[in-house]
Amino acid sequence: MDWEMIEQRLLSLLERGKHSELRGALMMLNEVDVARFMETLDKEKLLLTFRILPKDISADVFAYMSAEQKQTLIESIGDNEIRSLIEDMFLDDTVDFLEELPANVVKRVLQNTSESKRNLINQFLRYPDNSAGSLMTIEYMELKRGLNVQEAMSVIRKTGLDKETIYTLYVIDQARHLIGSIALRSLIMADDSVLIDTLMNTNIISVKTLDDQEKVAETVREYDLMTIPVVDNENRLVGIITADDVMDVIEEENTEDFEKMAALTPAEDEYLKMTPFQLAKNRLPWLLLLATVAIFTGMIITNYEDVLNKTAMGIVLTACIPMLMDTGGNCGAQASTLMIRGIALGEIEFKDIGRVLWKEVRVGLIVGAVLFMFTFARVYFINKASIPVCFIVSIALFCTVLMAKSLGCILPLTAKRLGFDPALMASPLITTIVDMTSLIVYFSIATSVLGV
């Protein structure tokens, strides 16, 4: 049965008032699919369906709902329902959705939360946005050193039900310093009398509470971790970050990079939920900046009007300008895209700039030589230009390709070194810079050869 048929059946049960059957059908679905179904409902049906859900899964479904629907529900349900919902949710999910709500709604939620959980939420909300501390959860499984396997399993059975994950267990000392980790399978396979100190891995990969979320994602990806512990400056365990949160970070960072590479100001909301005014506001700053920079391109062409107007082949030279600029921009975009991706994956660092530049120079020589011959033949046979003009256009294109490849690898690495996002040095900006420099090279060669 495909999703459309499932959705139609659920809607039919809801409209006919078959609440008991609807409850049973919803319980057969994954929480993500239940949240997906509820995305299609209006306010009244959304509230009814949410109240039909069993209490033990309603919090899980709530965590997967959109920010708008979460706000609608919080504004519609009673104080007791809010209290029950927040108590059943994992702390990191609670913090995530509170960060998306207006201040008045957050105030109501906190007013209907137990004092202990409210203090924890406020503590998490004080961490900087996009930091490890703002991502972590405190629902992790910890064990005190000195326990044997039987004692450790007893602790897991007593407290593990309320933990977000128990697959990796963290060992701490009396001062809560993180001293090791144990995979659950190691405990299961070991004899009851074995001390966990002999089973734990002391070579722990961890992050600090103030580390940027991008660093967290890079660390998890590099070491293939399912969870990563978060420690304070004194190496005391304060929380963990799970793989599902890291995947959200990766998606968010990739989306942000794509938007910057397309000369867009990163947006917080989904495209279909944004107004035309919001979309225009995200695009205009970059468009105005690039349009301003493009003025210099026009000034360069104007400065060399003698080459274009007072030479016999001025029309051919003018006709070749778009080809020169487009090829240079494309070559620069190719190199910068590879650099930005390599930097994001941790494959390329600023210390590699020499090796990268030498490689791109060699690529530029190969590509430039092929394009030189192609352009020379094209201008000679199609544009019927003289040999000097063919040479001017071809050698200018060769130099442009070489320069564009070099700038495409240098600028993103330099931006990263200076603390800027390398994605800023993507296609639109690279193209604009290469346009100006390629024209200067083009006309410099033309004036030299033609003697203007």
- Average pLDDT for the chain: 88
Residue 400, pLDDT > 60, answer: yes
Average pLDDT of 233-239?
93
Q: What is the pLDDT of residue 374?
A: 96
For residues 105 and 78, the answer to whether their CB atoms sit within 8 Å is: no
- Taking each helix axis from N to C end, the angle separating 3-15 and 31-38, rounded to the nearest 10 degrees, works out to 60
Most confident of 10-14, 76-80, 152-156, 304-308: 152-156
How far apart CA 37 and CA 12 sit, in angstroms, is: 13
Average pLDDT of 29-49?
91
Per-residue pLDDT of 166-202, as tens digits, reads: 999 999 999 999 999 999 999 999 999 999 999 999 9
Q: What is the pLDDT of residue 116?
A: 82
Per-residue pLDDT of 282-310, as tens digits, reads: 888 877 877 887 788 888 888 877 777 76
How far apart CA 230 and CA 135 sit, in angstroms, is: 10
pLDDT confidence tier of residue 109, bands split at 50, 70 and 90:
confident
Residue 321, pLDDT > 60, answer: yes
Which has the higher per-residue pLDDT, 211 or 281?
211
Residue 363, pLDDT > 90, answer: yes
Q: What is the pLDDT of residue 427?
A: 66
Range of weakest confidence among 165-169, 341-345, 393-397: 341-345
pLDDT confidence tier of residue 447, bands split at 50, 70 and 90:
confident
Element (H, E) at 446: helix 427-450
Q: What is the pLDDT of residue 251?
A: 82
pLDDT confidence tier of residue 412, bands split at 50, 70 and 90:
very high
Q: What is the pLDDT of residue 257?
A: 78
Range of weakest confidence among 20-29, 215-224, 296-305, 357-366: 296-305
pLDDT confidence tier of residue 434, bands split at 50, 70 and 90:
confident
For residues 376 and 320, the answer to whether their CB atoms sit within 8 Å is: no
Q: What is the pLDDT of residue 113?
A: 85
For residues 383 and 396, the answer to whether their CB atoms sit within 8 Å is: no
How far apart CA 50 and CA 58 sit, in angstroms, is: 7
How far apart CA 250 and CA 273 sit, in angstroms, is: 22
Residue 312, pLDDT > 90, answer: no
Q: What is the pLDDT of residue 193?
A: 94
pLDDT confidence tier of residue 131, bands split at 50, 70 and 90:
very high
For residues 170 and 181, the answer to whether their CB atoms sit within 8 Å is: yes
Q: Please, where are the H alpha helices in 275-352?
A: 276-303, 305-309, 314-319, 321-344
Q: What is the pLDDT of residue 1?
A: 55
Neighbour tally for 36: CB within 10 Å: 17
Q: What is the pLDDT of residue 310?
A: 65
Spell out the domains of the chain, with CATH numbers in brackets: 3-129 (1.25.60.10), 142-241 (3.10.580.10), 271-450 (1.10.357.20)
